[in-house]
Amino acid sequence: MPINPAGGPSLAGPALARGNTMARAVLQLPGSRDAWTYCVSPTRLQCMDGEILPELAKAWHTPGMNGNGAGVGQGQGFVSNLMAAGYTPIAHDLECVAFGQSRAGAALSSYLDRHEGISAGQPVVYHSDAWHRPKQLGHLTSWDFDREGWKAFLRQCLAIVSPEGLVDMQVQIAVNPVLRRIRAAQDREDARGRRMLSQLVHHLPVEFIPADLVEAAEAQATAKPTPKNRRK
């Protein structure tokens, strides 16, 4: 189903907080943002919550940007440039789930939503991915994030470019930068270093954590700060 970033109804309005008796408020948005096409590469990978998942690139549909034509389109020029760099575009009708609901048949895109509202007093159109949903109370807007749904989508994207699973080089691309940051965090002796170490180990897949790092992470996470590091 072709995306139509230039028009069409807003797919997802703000969820008003329980108890709000006001009429549906105009959605307060951070600004305008054009639609995009997600693209996935077998060599752009990250460690996230103990998994190796892709870092997606956005091929913006903005006219005139990175090879796009001057008129409204679907980012064909931007997509072509990313494809030349080894990326694969993700179809806008890919069946996926966000906030526990199937996105099949979505009018705009299975993975994008279009929001209409105002920013700095001006009407704007703002696109978000389907796993971020606005929630409004009066003139305040916050965004809920379906982290598990987002990770499931990333797995789908990874399967497109690596249908037979990851090879050793891909594992190294994702894991080695995290290991380097872990080693750097081990050299710190302050509370921030301990927090960094704990977070980094959390993201690294268990099977790739060397035994000495597990022990060091546990020791540093439970160690008390020395007096010189205590706040006064």
pLDDT tens sequence across 28-56: 999 999 999 999 999 999 999 999 999 99
pLDDT tens sequence across 65-124: 988 988 767 899 999 999 999 999 999 999 999 999 999 999 899 999 999 999 999 999
Strand (E) or helix (H) holding 112: strand 112-119
Helix 168-186 vs helix 191-203: angle between axes, to the nearest 10 degrees? 170
pLDDT above 80: residue 143 = yes
CB 42 within 8 A of CB 57: no
* pTM for the model: 0.80
Cβ count near 39 (within 10 Å): 25
Only one residue has tokens 């959390």, namely: 202
> Can you give the pLDDT at residue 219?
55
> Can you give the pLDDT at residue 195?
86
